[in-house]
Chains A and B, each alone.
Chain A
Amino acid sequence: MTKTINLTLKVWRQPSTESKGGFETYQASDISTDMSFLEMLDVVNEKLTMDGKEPIAFDHDCREGICGQCGSVVNGRAHGPEKGTTLCQLHMRHFSDGDTIAIEPFRARAFKVLKDLMVDRSALDKVIQAGGYVSVNTGGTPDANAIPISKEIADKAMDAAACIGCGACVAACPNASAMLFVSAKVSQLALLPQGRPEAARRVTAMVRTMDKMGFGNCSNERECEAECPKEISITNIARMNREFFKAGFFSATK
């Protein structure tokens, strides 16, 4: 037997970026506890559509926890209350019958609300465009083991590369800082030999772009690390700081 629960949702509704938003209350009835949070919203939206009302707009894509597209703030927590999960991987079994759930978009000056729970996270793309890449000339495929990299370093780079760019770190940060995202992207390249030639230029450009996009300043509150669905560590932030000081004070990069 599938267990079902009834919930009261308080959802942020905002028709467009310019318009003023507000909370609307909806009843989510007979929700299977096997559903994901987004499937629950699908059920609510189906009913809204049937009733001739505007369905709730929310970001989603793969629904497998790897694309970084979904994400809302559920009862004050980015991606909801479960540790290390995206919103699409949060299941309704973590809620109880009769619960009231507040659903808000990720909020930051750098993330404009497009509609309801959908936010424009292109500020993160701008940071990547500033330096989140390696420049390699095309040619024959290099041998897989031509450059020796220790398992330990490869693991650290892989842990940083697990970042899906969802923006939960920004949403969870009391200062709306993007330091965890940017540091993960800086780290994954700075740790590997392929990323070293452009390391100084990269970290300088990415940090400056991050500042220009209007994110807040990191104050080591550690909410980002606690909320990150991929559990990216703040050791990456310390690494980015080291890289930034090295680039700023000891490299020729201006």
Chain B
Amino acid sequence: MSWFVNTLGSSIGKKLMMAISGLSFCGFLVAHLAGNLFIYGGRDAFNSYATHLHSLGPLVTIAELGLLTMALIHVLTGATLFYENLQSRPQRYAVNKSAGGRTIGSATMPYTGAFLLLFVIFHLLNFHFVDKTHITIFDIVSKSFSHPAYVVFYVLAMIIAGIHVSHGLWSAFQTLGANHPKYMPVIMMLSLVFSLIVGIGFGFLPIYISLIA
């Protein structure tokens, strides 16, 4: 098995782990957003969606464990890459100028990533690890977003998520070696569109809930 560890432990192997775990999160975001859209259907539609989702039982647990594994891989590998990359240039440049390759997304990846980790923990404590015996999920959500501070924080977090994804999605394809003259422009465009969908799609929900609350 040393070949396996050698391959994944190399610089390209670590990128592979970031790409696969990152892509799985993109898949999760699609499912999460699709589910959240039930909020527009009102209290009963959203609560019924939540009940149906939880009636899947062990499938939900498997998905959660899968996401947790991916999160551990993504966070630990990302932290390792960040630390190694800091060390790779001990003496910094006095003058730094971009030649035009970097984007806001690519240049802030470790920082937006660290923020998103804290956000996910906060988000889970907020809506997942709460006692739901006497209150429905819709009421928890609408109570939370009646505080303007929550709305501002969540909208900001979703913009940051969009920025993170704008680099992450196309970057994952490049890392996997899926760079083709015919498809790369499409992938780059898809990456931008997806980041906007994440930013606006998730970002508008807290605003909508606070308006109807």
The CA of A227 and the CA of B95, in the complex, are separated in Å by: 15
Does the CB pair A176–B88 fall under 8 Å?
yes
Q: How far is the CB of A66 from chain B (nearest CB, A)?
A: 21
Answer yes or no: A226 CB below 8 A from chain B CBs: yes
At the interface, yes or no: B81 with Cβ under 8 Å from chain A? Answer: yes
> Are A241 and B12 interface neighbours, CB within 8 A?
yes
Residues of B with Cβ closer than 8 Å to A?
A: 2-3, 6-7, 10-16, 81, 84-85, 87-102, 106-107, 109, 167, 170-171, 174-179, 181, 184
**What residues of B have a CB within 8 angstroms of the CB of A175 in the complex?**
85, 88-89
Residues on B with beta carbons closer than 8 Å to the beta carbon of A239: 177, 179
A172 near B: Cβ within 8 Å? Answer: yes
Chain A interface size, as a band, is 35 or more
The docked-state distance in angstroms from the alpha carbon of A41 to that of B173 is 43
Chain A 216-254 interface 0/1 with B at a Cβ cutoff of 8 Å (1 = within): 111111111111000000110111111011001100001
User: B101 contacts A219, CB within 8 Å?
Assistant: no
Residues of A close to B174: CB separation below 8 A: 220, 234, 237-238, 241
Residues of A within 8 A of B106 (CB): 219-222
Chain A residues touching B, majority SS? mixed
A108 to B, closest residue via Cβ: B89
A104/B93 contact (C-beta < 8 A), A207-B12, A219-B171, A239-B177 known: yes
Nearest-CB residue, chain B, relative to A225 = B101
Q: Are A109 and B101 in contact (CB under 8 A)?
A: no
Chain A residues with CB under 8 A of B167: 220
Which residues of A are in contact with B by a Cβ distance under 8 Å? 10, 12, 23, 73, 75-78, 83, 102, 104, 107-110, 172, 174-177, 179, 207-208, 210-211, 214-227, 234-235, 237-242, 244-245, 248-249, 254
Shortest beta-carbon distance, A67 to chain B, in Å?
Answer: 22
Cα–Cα, bound, A76→B174 (Å) = 26
- The CA-CA distance from A78 to B16 in the complex, in Å, is 28
The answer to whether B10 touches A208, judged by C-beta atoms less than 8 angstroms apart, is yes
Known: A217-B85, A237-B174. 11 other contacts (CB 8 A): A75-B95, A76-B95, A108-B89, A175-B89, A216-B87, A224-B101, A227-B99, A234-B174, A239-B179, A242-B177, A244-B10
Choice from B7, B11, B96 contacting A248 with Cβ under 8 Å? B7
With A75-B97, A104-B93, A220-B175 known to touch, is A211 a contact of B85 (CB < 8 Å)?
Answer: no
- Known contacts: A219-B171, A254-B3. The answer to whether A176 contacts B89 by CB under 8 A is yes
| Residue of B10, B84, B95, B107 touching A104 (CB-CB under 8 A) | B95
Residue in A104, A172, A176, A218 with the greatest tally of chain B CB atoms within 10 Å: A218
Q: Write the nearest CB–CB distance from A203 to chain B, whole angstroms.
A: 9
List chain B residues, Cβ under 8 A from A210.
11
Contact A222 B88 (CB under 8 A): no
Closest 8 CB pairs of A and B: A76-B97, A216-B88, A222-B101, A248-B7, A238-B179, A242-B177, A226-B99, A76-B95
